[in-house]
Amino acid sequence: MIKVNKGNRKYLIGIIIMVLIIIAIFSIIFIDYQNKHLKEISRDYFYMDTYINVKVYSNNKKKANKALDEIENIYKTYHNLTDRYNSNELGLYNLNHGNNDIDDKLLEMIKYADSWYDKTGGLLDITIGNVVDVWKKYRDLGSGIPTSEELTTANINHDDMIINDKVILNNNVSIDLGAISKGYTTQIVGEYLKSVGLTKFIINAGGNVLVGDYYKQSSDTYNVGIEDPTNNNSLYQIVKVNNKAIVTSGGYQRNYTYNGVTYNHIINPKTLYPANNMQSVTVICDSSSMADALSTTLFLMSVDDGLAFIDNYDAEAIWYLNDGTIVKSKGFSIYE
Amino acid sequence: MNKKDILLCIILLVISLSLYLIFNLFQDKGNKKAIVYYDSKEVLSIDLSNKEYQEYTVKGYNGDVRIESLNGMVRVKEEVSPLHLCSRQGYISKSYESIICLPNKIVIEIEGSSNIDTIAR
C-alpha cells in the first residue's frame, strides 16, 4: 500500500475524476462514430425470376452474414414452392398437376392470397393461372392475341378451388401466385431480420421494396425513388419512409405490342384481358404482402374506384396515368 | 486540481474533439465509380471521373460480358443472354441507376453520393 497524505489524496481524486471524464468522452465519441458508420453488408439473390438485393446495417458482420445466408434459404424455398413451371415436391407445380400434398408454408400463402378475393370483389383471383398461361403463350411469341373463346375456355370458376386444411382444385384450376409471392416472401424476410435483431435494412426484390429502421442513428428516413414507368432512367417521385413496404404494379416491364396495342402481363379476372387503366400504381404500407396485394388490385381498378378502395386501408398510393397525370391518395403527402 | 491539471483536461478535450472530426472527415468522398458485381462479388471497379473511352470484359454466368465507359457513363456493350435487356438499356450515369443482367448474374451499380437509398419499380 502506498501511503498518501491529505494533499496527495485530493490530487488522486482529481486525477481519477479527470480520467473518468476522459473515458466518458471517448466512449461517447466511439459509440456515436459506430452508430453513424454501421457496416453495410449487402447480398444479391436471383430467385422468383428477379434480382433481389438485401442490405443490412450492423456492426456485427458475422451475424449479418449468417442472416443473409438464411435469407437465401427463405427466397429459395418460396421460389421452389411458388414456381408454376417446374416440378417441385410439395410445391405449386405439383398442386396444379393433381398432387394435394403441399407444404404448410405454401398453404399459408394460398390462404393469405385468397383472403383478398372477397375483399377486392373478386379482382385478386389466384385461380386465374390458365388464363395467364394463354396470354403468356402469345407474349412469348411476341405477336397475336388470344380469341375470346380461348380465354373463356381457359377461365375457371373461382369456386372450383376449395381451401380447408388442404387445397382441392377441380376442373383443372391452375393457381397463379404471381400477384403476391414476391411481396409475401419479402415480408417473411423482413420479419426474420427483425426477429434476429437486425432492424436496419433495405430489401429490394425486383423493385418491391421493404425498409426497416433508418441506418443512421438519427430521426432521418430512407429516400426511396419511384421509377418513371415511361423512362427507366428517371424517378418521378421520392418518398421518405422507415419501416414501410413500397410496391409498384405496372404493365411497363413485361409486355408486348401487337397491331399497335400494348398488352401487359397483369390480367383482369373479370375481363380476362390485360388491365390498361394506367401506367403504374405504387402502394406504401406497413406490410409487404399487403402492399403487393393492394397494388395489383389498384392496377385492375379505375383510379376513382382505387381512391375509394385504398381509403379503407392503412395505406397510401400514387398513380401514374396513361396521359402522364400523377394522382395521389388522400394521405400520401406524409411521405413527401 | 491546480491550473496545470485544468490545462491537461482542456488539451485532452481538444485531442478528443479533433479525433472525432478526423473520424468524420475520413468518410468516402472519392471519385464516382461504377462497381460490377458477379453473383454478389465485386469483380470490377471503373473510375468514372476518367472521361476517356474504356473497355472491360468480365465473366458472366453465360459467358463474357463486355462493358464500356465514356464521359462518366457506363453501359453493357455485349453479353450472352436471351433478351439482351442489359445491353439494350444503354448508358447509366446517376448514382441511383443500375444495370441488372439476370441471366449473367451481373449487376452494375454507380457508387457516389446520392440521397436515394433504393428504387421501387
Residues of B in contact with A232 (CB under 8 A): 89, 121
| Local structure of A3: helix, strand or coil | coil
Q: What value of ipTM does the predicted structure carry? A: 0.85
| Pairing of the two strands B118-120 and A244-250 | unpaired
By CA distance, what is B23's nearest residue in A? A33
Q: Over 60: is that where the pLDDT of B28 sits?
A: no
Say if residue A311 is exposed, middle or buried (CB neighbours under 10 Å; 0-12, 13-18, 19+).
Answer: exposed
What are the DSSP E strand ranges found in chain A? 39-47, 50-58, 161-163, 167-169, 201-205, 208-211, 222-228, 231-241, 244-250, 255-258, 261-264, 280-285, 315-320, 326-328
CB contact under 8 A, B119 and A25: no
Measured CA to CA, the distance from residue A319 to residue A249 in angstroms comes to: 10
Q: Over 80: is that where the pLDDT of B22 sits?
A: no
Cβ–Cβ contacts within 10 Å for residue A225, how many?
24
Residues of A in contact with B18 (CB under 8 A): none
Identify the pLDDT of residue A2.
55
Identify the pLDDT of residue B25.
65
CB of B16 within 8 Å of any CB in chain A? yes
Q: What is the DSSP letter of B92?
A: B
Query: Of all helices (H) and strands (E), which one includes residue A70?
Result: helix A61-82
| Spatial CB neighbours of A243, under 8 Å, sequence gap ≥ 6 | A211, A212, A213, A286
Cell numbers standing for residue A285: 404500407
Residues of B in contact with A216 (CB under 8 A): none
**Assign residue A143 a region: left if phi > 0, alpha if psi is -120 to 50, beta otherwise?**
beta
CB contact under 8 A, B121 and A248: yes
Q: Over 60: is that where the pLDDT of B5 sits?
A: yes
| Spatial CB neighbours of A121, under 8 Å, sequence gap ≥ 6 | none
Say if residue A183 is exposed, middle or buried (CB neighbours under 10 Å; 0-12, 13-18, 19+).
Answer: buried
Identify the pLDDT of residue B50.
83
Partners of B56 in the β-ladder: B67
**Residues A291, A296, A301, A304, CA torsion sign:** positive
Cβ–Cβ contacts within 10 Å for residue A154, how many?
19
Identify the pLDDT of residue B82.
87
Residues of B in contact with A235 (CB under 8 A): 96, 116, 119
CB contact under 8 A, A211 and B116: no
Identify the pLDDT of residue A138.
94
pLDDT tens-digit series, residues B35-46: 999 988 899 999
Q: Over 80: is that where the pLDDT of B1 sits?
A: no
| Pairing of the two strands B33-38 and B41-47 | antiparallel
Phi, psi of A195, rounded to the nearest 5 degrees: -65, -25
Residues of B in contact with A208 (CB under 8 A): 120
- With a pLDDT cut of 90, the percent of chain A lying above it is 76
Cβ–Cβ contacts within 10 Å for residue A267, how many?
25
Identify the pLDDT of residue A237.
95
Measured CA to CA, the distance from residue A96 to residue A103 in angstroms comes to: 14
Measured CA to CA, the distance from residue A145 to residue A134 in angstroms comes to: 9
Measured CA to CA, the distance from residue A161 to residue A172 in angstroms comes to: 10
CB contact under 8 A, B120 and A225: yes
CB contact under 8 A, A209 and B19: no
A-B C-beta contacts closer than 8 Å = 93
List the end-to-end C-alpha distance of chain B, in Å, as a whole number.
Answer: 64
Provide block-wise average pLDDT over 10 residues at a time, chain A (336 residues).
Answer: 66 83 81 76 93 94 97 97 92 92 96 97 96 93 92 89 92 93 98 97 96 84 94 89 97 87 93 95 98 97 97 97 96 96
Cell numbers standing for residue A288: 409487404
Measured CA to CA, the distance from residue A140 to residue A45 in angstroms comes to: 25
Partners of B47 in the β-ladder: B33
Cell numbers standing for residue A215: 441506418
> What pTM was estimated for this model as a whole?
0.82
Alpha-carbon A295 to chain mean position = 11
Q: Are A264 and A239 in contact (CB under 8 A)?
A: no
C-alpha distances out from residue A217 to A34, A152, B116, B117, Å: 9, 56, 18, 16
Query: Of all helices (H) and strands (E), which one includes residue B104?
Result: none
Cβ–Cβ contacts within 10 Å for residue A14, how many?
15
Percent of chain B as helix, strand, coil, to the nearest 5: 25, 40, 35
pLDDT band at B65 (very low <50, low <70, confident <90, very high): very high
Place of cell 453501359: B75
Identify the pLDDT of residue B40.
84
| Closest in B23, B89, B121 to A33, CB measured | B23
CB of B6 within 8 Å of any CB in chain A? no
CB of A33 within 8 Å of any CB in chain B? yes
Residues of B in contact with A227 (CB under 8 A): 119-121
